[in-house]
Every structure is written in C-alpha cells, then in structure tokens.
Amino acid sequence: MPNVIVKTGNKILEINAQQGQNLLELLRKADIDISTPCNGNGTCGKCKVRILSGHLPNPSQNEIKVLGFNAIESGYRLSCCYAVRSDVEILLESDSLQAQIVTEGRQRSFELDPVVTKENIVLEKPSLSSQISDFERVLGSCSMLEVNTPSLQLIRNIPELIRQKDYNISLIKTGTRLLGVEAGDTTESLYGVAVDIGTTTIAAYLIDLTDGERLCVYSGLNPQKKFGADVISRIKHTIDSETGLEELNNLIINEINSCIGAMCEEANISRSDIYAITLVGNTTMTHFLLKVPAKNIAAAPFIPAVTSMVKINAKELGVDINPYGLAFVLPAVSAYIGADTVGAVLSTGMYEQEDISLLIDIGTNGEIVLGNREVLYACSSAAGPAFEGANIRNGIGSIKGAINSISLKSGVSYTTIGGAEPVGICGTGIVDGIAQLLEMGIVDETGRLDDEWEPATPEQASLAKNITVVDNMNAFLICGDIAITQKDIRELQNAKGAIAAGINVLVKQSGINFSDIKNVYLAGGFGTYINVDSALKIGLIPFQLRGKIQPVGNAAGQGAIEGLLSVKRLSDAEIISKKIKYIELSSSKDFNDFYMNCMMFE
C-alpha cells in the first residue's frame, strides 16, 4: 500500500493510499483542503501539487497546457491526473488561510422585534381547587399563547421545569406560538445567529436578541469548494456520486456548527443560549443546506425543489443550538435568484424606495436586480469564476499575498492583501491590471494584447520589457512569474460581458432608462474592494452609471441579520421574493446581442 506524505503550510500529514488511487480523490477523503474550481476535470490547474520525491510521471499534453513548462520543470503535476503507484512526497500550497472575506453590510434602522422572544412569568400554584394540568396551566398563563403541535419532549419536561424555581418560568415564543419552557428567569440569555452561505465563503454573526447587538463575526471558506468552484460542478457531484448530496450537506452543516462553537467561545455563552438561526445563500446552497436534491437546477427548465421560506426546528436541520431553537431559511425567487439576493434587496431597502436602484452582486453567478417599490426585475448572469481568481493563470482567491491592485502609471506597481509577498492575482487585481493595460494601449478594444506595442511617452518605455510570451501566448508580467495572459483577458471579457449584458437586458425589458437609475449598489466582497474607475474602464458597469455607485458590503448577510431581529423584515423577505419578476437570460435574444457587444472594451 503506497504511502503519501503531504506537506501543506506548517503541517506534515501521512496518508495510506490504494494502488493506483487518484491523488485528488485521496486528498479529498482525507479532508485536506485543496482548490478544485473545475471539480477535478483537469482544466483549471488549481489542484496542482509539487512532487518532492517519488514517482514523477511524464506530463500529459493537457498538464503542459494548463500548468506551463516552468511549473512542469519544477515538478508540478495536477493531482486530479496523478495516480498513486508508489510512495510519494508532495507539497500542497493551500489558499484556505487568511482569506479576505467581507462581513460588514450597510445597516438600516428598524424596530427590534426578534423572531424568537422570551417572557418571564410566575404561575399560579396548583391546589385542590385548581387541578389544571401542568401543560394547560402554562398555556393559560399568557394570553394569545398557542401550541400548534406541542412536542412530546416539551410535555415530558414541563412537570419538573415549572417546579424547579417554585413555578417561576420563562416562556420561549415565536409570535404567539410556544416553543419551550425554562425554569426561572432566563430572559437575558437570548441569542441568535445569522448565516450567509456563499458559493466561495461563509459569514456568520452572533446577535444578542434582547438588544440587537452584534457580539462577534465568523468568516471562512466554504468547504464544499473542494467539489468545484461553481454550483454546477457541485450539483454534478451529487448526480455522479450516490453520497454526493449527503457529503455536501455534511460539509456545510459541520461548518455552521463549527462557526457557532467558535463564536460561543469568543462571546462566552453556551450553544443552548441560541434560539434562532436565519440563513441565506443562493438556491443551490440552500438546497444543499436542506439536503434537498438540486439536480433539476442544473438543466433546463431550471426548476428548484423549493423557493418559499423554510421554517423548521434547528435540530431537524442538524444545527447544534438550543433544542427549542428554530431555523429560518429565507425565500428564493428562482433557480438562480436565491435567498442571498432576497436578503440583499431587503437590507438595501430598494424595495421600499421611490427612487429606482440597481443592485449588482458580482460573482460566479452575477445576480442583478433593478427597480423600486413599484416593481423589481432580476436576472442571473453566468459570469463564471474569473472574478474570484479561477480560470486565471495566476488567479487566486482574496487571500494574504494576493495582488489586489495594479498601476502602470510609473512602471509596474501593485499592492497585495496584508502587504505580503505576492503569490498570485485576485479578482480586483485582474480588473485593475487589464484596465491599466487598456489605458496604456497595450490591450486594444478587442482584447488583443499587442506584442508590438510602442510607448507613447518616455515614462511608459519601461513597460515594453514586461510584454512577453507565457505558455505560448502573449502576456504582461506583473512581478516574478506572475503575469496577465491573453487567455486571462479573454476570461475577463467573458465575465464582464455577461454582467454588463445582464444589466442592459434588465434596463431594456423594464423600460427603465439609465438616467432613471439613482443608486447602484455593489454587493459582496468583489463589489466592496473593486476600483470603481477600473470597473467602468473595462465596461463591467455601464459608464452612464458613473457617480451613482456605492458598495454595500455583505448585503445578503445583513439581510439575514435583519430577518433575525425583525418579524416584519422576515415577512418583507417573503413579499420581496414574490414581487421580483425573474428574467431568464438563457433564452433571451436580447442577452445574446448585448453579450457580443459587451465583450468589447470601449
């Protein structure tokens, strides 16, 4: 049985493999974090490992194409293409540490009315003249109190609970519905959690439901990413593997429970003090959360299993909070306009405003919403994962050392996340870099990188030496061997073209003019950190919207928080989901026409 030694970060792991076992499969089963945007199809190059000792097979033509000659010569191979046949030692460069994840959202004022409340009461003690049962005594203690379907466990617990503190009890309620009973006055121990499940990242918030204070925040990478960077790759895994859906569900539930544990430790509270959790995410993520088959989302006519709000006992979901606790999964609109978009619309308040607003969440699935309190239009534009660093030669996520801004005004200069040594380029860096190449004329309006470019001024002369050939294509070196290649430019053109075309389709089909739009909300991590001038320069955002753009951070997460703290806001989420008119772009002739035009740089 071959032995595989894995070096990653400051860890060294030893794994036993089956003869001929696929290396990527082995790493996944060992729960070793590895980026696989293409889900192991050999096209993204992100699952590369460096063979330090042991069998180094001759590279396939595909590996040469994806990794390049320099990486091949340095001993890199794709783990998805590597069969373990003997003892081997590998180096794995993990991107899971120190990720830059946006957790802040724009906050609006609202009346505090949490989805779960407590009330302290003292029951009238039973006597020979008052022989009402314990359960009915509790129900009769508070007007407007009801139990639709009392749990057997609640009935079993009540006799002892009400006598522990001499009939002093606390009622746990959602609206007028009784959820549970606790001995004594526990009204000050009432907490909730809001979670935003992104395709790439997860953000969670621990909230004091008595005053609305946010106690702490947790953020991390979605562990499902090892089965692909996009939702289609993950859905495919659930189709190809009998245990695929269970695997993806376990990954997200375990991550949620881990983050709850970490936040409880930080805030010095118990899990049993948490009585409610609200969750948002795109429709595929919420299906995986609920362990509901998502296969029909992936193919026309793109039908999800459920889009309405799901309200269940958190224990049934597998979330480890108070046994009486509830879980609320906010409603979605369609297969590709999910609860995260509904949450973002909720937190921006655009559904209540007279002014017309445009909400853009730039990511793998670029969700776009246009409208006001009268009507809302939405579409999802499949931009692909380029904005998150995938399918880019030196692309990486927003981690420490990622180049996040580039300037070519006085030679090549750049900044990195955390000020660390550069390890690759994240999405905002790609946008900045290509915008600068356009500004200098090194890239033309068609996206062609000109290898015969001549500087227009003496200050630009030093840039010419950075134009080179990488992997048999024109490229521009940023630093070391980190470059923006011709293929990277095409990937960005596809991505930005899809977003811009989606915006144009909504504007046309709604009958709204660009001049009518008063606010442009950029949501999510990419929207928070992007250089707006660069986004305008490459045509990601139409130039007519200049001066109206404002980042709103994690608007989806903020929507989950508002749904936790306000019964009205939670109800508004349901209203929003029904109000949005979804436009399917895959069958839209307008989209195809706009897409071809929007791929160009103007």
Is residue 284 domain-shared with residue 139, that is, in the same domain?
Answer: no
Cα(486)–Cα(469) distance, rounded to whole angstroms?
Answer: 9
Is residue 203 domain-shared with residue 281, that is, in the same domain?
Answer: yes
Q: What is the DSSP string of 327-339?
A: EEE---SSSSS-H
Is residue 502 helix, strand or coil?
Answer: helix
Please give the residue that has the higher pLDDT: either 478 or 139: 478
| Predicted local confidence at residue 97, as pLDDT | 45
What pLDDT, in 10s, does the model give residues 483-514?
999 999 999 999 999 999 999 999 999 999 99
Boundary of a domain, candidates 161, 183, 205: 183
Is residue 476 domain-shared with residue 452, that is, in the same domain?
Answer: yes
Strands (E), 282-397: 310-313, 326-329, 356-361, 365-371, 376-382
In a domain? residue 44: yes
| Distance (Å) of CA 357 to CA 261, 348, 366, 391, 519 | 38, 9, 16, 32, 5
Cβ neighbour number for residue 158 with a 10 Å cutoff = 19
In a domain? residue 400: yes
Is residue 425 domain-shared with residue 481, that is, in the same domain?
Answer: yes
Q: What is the CATH number of the domain that holds 512?
A: 3.30.420
| Predicted local confidence at residue 8, as pLDDT | 74
Is residue 377 domain-shared with residue 435, that is, in the same domain?
Answer: no
Q: pLDDT at residue 195 above 90? A: yes
What pLDDT, in 10s, does the model give residues 549-587?
999 989 999 999 999 999 999 999 999 999 999 999 988
Cα(191)–Cα(440) distance, rounded to whole angstroms?
Answer: 54
Length of the chain: 602
pLDDT > 70: percent of the chain = 96
Is residue 289 domain-shared with residue 404, that is, in the same domain?
Answer: no
Please enumerate in sequence order all residues whose Cβ is within 8 A of that of 100, keeping only pairs 6 or more positions apart, or say none: 398, 399, 400, 402, 417, 418, 525, 529
In a domain? residue 418: yes
What pLDDT, in 10s, does the model give residues 365-400?
789 999 999 999 999 998 777 887 778 899 888 788
In a domain? residue 106: no
Boundary of a domain, candidates 43, 73, 91: 91
In a domain? residue 233: yes
What pLDDT, in 10s, does the model give residues 295-310?
999 999 999 999 999 9
Mean pLDDT taken over the chain: 91
| Predicted local confidence at residue 2, as pLDDT | 84
* Least-confidence region, from 57-61, 173-177, 183-187, 523-527: 523-527
Q: pLDDT at residue 364 above 80? A: no
The β-bridge relationship of strands 376-382 and 402-407 is: unpaired
Residue 122 near residue 167 (C-beta atoms within 8 A):
yes
Of the chain, the end-to-end C-alpha distance in Å amounts to 58
Q: What is the CATH number of the domain that holds 296?
A: 3.30.420.480
Closest CA to 208 of 329, 117, 107: 117
> Token pair for residue 528?
């928070």
Q: pLDDT at residue 111 above 90? A: no
Is residue 155 helix, strand or coil?
Answer: helix
Cα(351)–Cα(510) distance, rounded to whole angstroms?
Answer: 15
The β-bridge relationship of strands 365-371 and 580-582 is: unpaired
User: Which residues make beta-bridge pairs with 119?
Assistant: 171
Is residue 231 domain-shared with residue 279, that is, in the same domain?
Answer: yes
Rg over alpha carbons for the chain, rounded to the nearest Å, is 27
Is residue 588 domain-shared with residue 509, that is, in the same domain?
Answer: yes
Full domain range(s) for residue 559: 347-384+492-598
User: Which residues make beta-bridge pairs with 195?
Assistant: 204, 279
Cα(218)–Cα(262) distance, rounded to whole angstroms?
Answer: 8
User: Looking up tokens 């909300």, which residue turns up?
Assistant: 521
The β-bridge relationship of strands 580-582 and 376-382 is: parallel
> Token pair for residue 544?
């007519």
Cα(317)–Cα(321) distance, rounded to whole angstroms?
Answer: 11
Helix-then-strand count for the chain, H and E: 17, 28
Q: What is the DSSP string of 98-147?
A: SB-----B-------B-SSEEEEEEPPPPBTTB---HHHHHHHTSTT-B-
| Predicted local confidence at residue 124, as pLDDT | 92
Is residue 481 domain-shared with residue 515, that is, in the same domain?
Answer: no
Is residue 199 domain-shared with residue 285, that is, in the same domain?
Answer: yes
Average pLDDT rounded to a whole number, residues 409-431: 91
* Least-confidence region, from 24-33, 73-82, 170-179, 515-524: 24-33
Is residue 385 helix, strand or coil?
Answer: helix
In a domain? residue 339: no
In a domain? residue 39: yes
| Distance (Å) of CA 288 to CA 102, 202, 282 | 23, 14, 10
Residue 358 near residue 393 (C-beta atoms within 8 A):
no
Boundary of a domain, candidates 488, 510, 531: 488
The identity of residue 60, as a single letter, is: S
The β-bridge relationship of strands 274-281 and 191-197 is: parallel
| Predicted local confidence at residue 255, as pLDDT | 96
Cα(43)–Cα(40) distance, rounded to whole angstroms?
Answer: 8
Q: pLDDT at residue 418 above 90? A: no
Q: What is the CATH number of the domain that holds 59?
A: 3.10.20.30
> Token pair for residue 245?
């859906």
Cα(492)–Cα(486) distance, rounded to whole angstroms?
Answer: 10
| Predicted local confidence at residue 101, as pLDDT | 56
Average pLDDT rounded to a whole number, residues 139-146: 75
Cα(18)–Cα(238) distance, rounded to whole angstroms?
Answer: 24
Is residue 408 helix, strand or coil?
Answer: coil
Residue 87 near residue 6 (C-beta atoms within 8 A):
no
Is residue 197 domain-shared with residue 314, that is, in the same domain?
Answer: yes
* Least-confidence region, from 45-49, 140-144, 278-282, 308-312: 140-144
User: Residue 94's pLDDT band (boundaries 50, 70, 90)?
Assistant: low
- Count how many domains the chain has: 5
Cβ neighbour number for residue 175 with a 10 Å cutoff = 14
Is residue 560 domain-shared with residue 447, that is, in the same domain?
Answer: no
Closest CA to 319 of 278, 359, 365: 278
In a domain? residue 475: yes
3-state helix, strand, coil in the chain (%, to 5): 35, 25, 35
User: Which residues make beta-bridge pairs with 468?
Assistant: 475
Q: Which helix (H) or strand (E) holds 468?
A: strand 467-470
